Every structure is written in structure tokens, then in C-alpha cells.
A = this chain, B = another copy of it.
Amino acid sequence: ELAEAVIAALTPKQLSGKKIVMTAGPTFEPIDPVRGITNQSSGQMGYAMARAFAQAGADVVLVSGPVALATPLGVTRVSVQTAEQMRQAVMREIAQAQVFVGVAAVADYRPLEVAEHKLKKTASVDSDGGRTITLTPNPDILAEVASLPAAPYCVGFAAESQNLDDYAEAKRLRKRLPLVIGNLVSDGLGTADNCVTLYDETGRYPLPPLSKPVLARRLVDELAARLNKA
């Protein structure tokens, strides 16, 4: 905590006066009281960014799915489990925000029905011993925030296992995001290092491989420069 406070004191306040709402971690979509569908996300990238934003003077609200990480110094954390809970927490905070950053690995789908009690292995199986789960789409939090009448500056993440440029550019255009940060999942999900590429309306900017804390500080610079121009 002391080291964190010292770093915060020494960091230029590039984001002073900005309220940043962000999401991090996975969501967990229950199947029954113990089982669920989730994503492989440690939350490390989002938490590193929340810390770097706070150190740069921003008022940071971090809406977080279930992770095993401490809340960074000076960050307001709202803990949620599902995508719908994450959406509601974001919408409660977004009106006063100048920036929204969606880092969370939100589940695109959730089980259509949630069983009140733990499903037994012997219940409702097919003739071949299998079972099916019917899924329904989750809200798209980033698209919803980006389409608000007075939308904040929206930053999206694209974690892909292939065709990163195509998918990240398509995401930027489809959701009308000023900035998308893309990475190949083999490069970073759940691990300590990250190699990302930035996509904005002026082009494609690959960054070198950086540790998540160093990358987070670099992204503060990238964000602050773009906010000054916007």
C-alpha cells in the first residue's frame, strides 16, 4: 500500500477531473446453485488499468466480476457476478462519466433457465447420457453505453484467438467505438504479459510486448492524448 501511494504521488495527473467507469474480470452465468458458464479472465489487465487510471488522477469506478485480486488504492469497486448485474452497475454510474472502458470478458450468452437447486447427474439426461443447455444472448454493455445520447469516450477490448485485425476493426465500427485495444488470447488472457494493438479511426498501432502494469501506464498516455484531441 505504501509503494502504491508513493507511485500515485509521483505519477503525472493526466486524467485529473475525469470520471472513468470500467469493467474487469469474467462474468459468471449460473446454470444452477453451483455450476455456471464463465470466461478465462484473471482480471489482471483490468485491475492494472484501474490502478494506473487512479494513479493518473482519475475518479475510477471498477465494476468487477468474480476475481481473486485486491482493489487498487483509490479505486471504487462494485462487485457483480452476471452480465446483467454488470450492466445495471455500469448504467447507475455512467451519466457522470467522461470515459468508459470495457475490459471485462463478459459472457455473450447465459443459460435460458437457472435451476433453483443443484442438478443431479441422474436427472433429465438424454438417452445417450448427454444433456443440453439452452442459452440466450446477454446484453451488450459496451454497445449500449456507446449508443447513449451523451456517450462517454468508449474504449473496447477485443480478445481473439485468430484474425485479430479483422475482428477488432469490425468491433470498432459496429459498436462505433473511438478506440479498441486488441490482443490474441494466446498472448495474454490469464497470464502476466500482454501484446496488444490499438485500433482507432486513424489506423492500427501495434505496441511491443509489455508487462500488464507497464502496458496499463502506456494506455493511460494513449487515452489521455486521445481525450485531449477529442
Write the residues of chain A forming the contact surface with B, with a CB cutoff of 8 angstroms: 28, 31-41, 68, 105, 107-109, 112, 116-121, 125, 129-137, 159-162, 167, 185-186, 189
Cβ contact within 8 Å between A112 and B130: yes
* 11 A-B contact pairs sorted by A residue (CB < 8 Å): A33-B40, A33-B185, A34-B161, A35-B38, A37-B37, A37-B38, A109-B131, A112-B130, A118-B162, A129-B136, A129-B137
The 5 closest A-B pairs by CB, nearest first: A68-B68, A33-B161, A131-B135, A117-B161, A118-B161
Cβ contact within 8 Å between B39 and A35: yes
- What are the residues of chain B within 8 A of A38 when measuring CB–CB? 28, 35-38
- What are the residues of chain B within 8 A of A35 when measuring CB–CB? 37-40, 107
Cβ contact within 8 Å between B137 and A34: no
Pick from B108, B117, B121, B131: contact of A121, CB below 8 A: B108
- What are the residues of chain B within 8 A of A185 when measuring CB–CB? 33-34, 118
Q: How far is the CA of A161 from the CA of B33 in the complex (A)?
A: 7
Looking at A33, A129, A134, A167, which has the most chain B CB atoms within 10 Å of its CB? A33
- What are the residues of chain B within 8 A of A112 when measuring CB–CB? 130
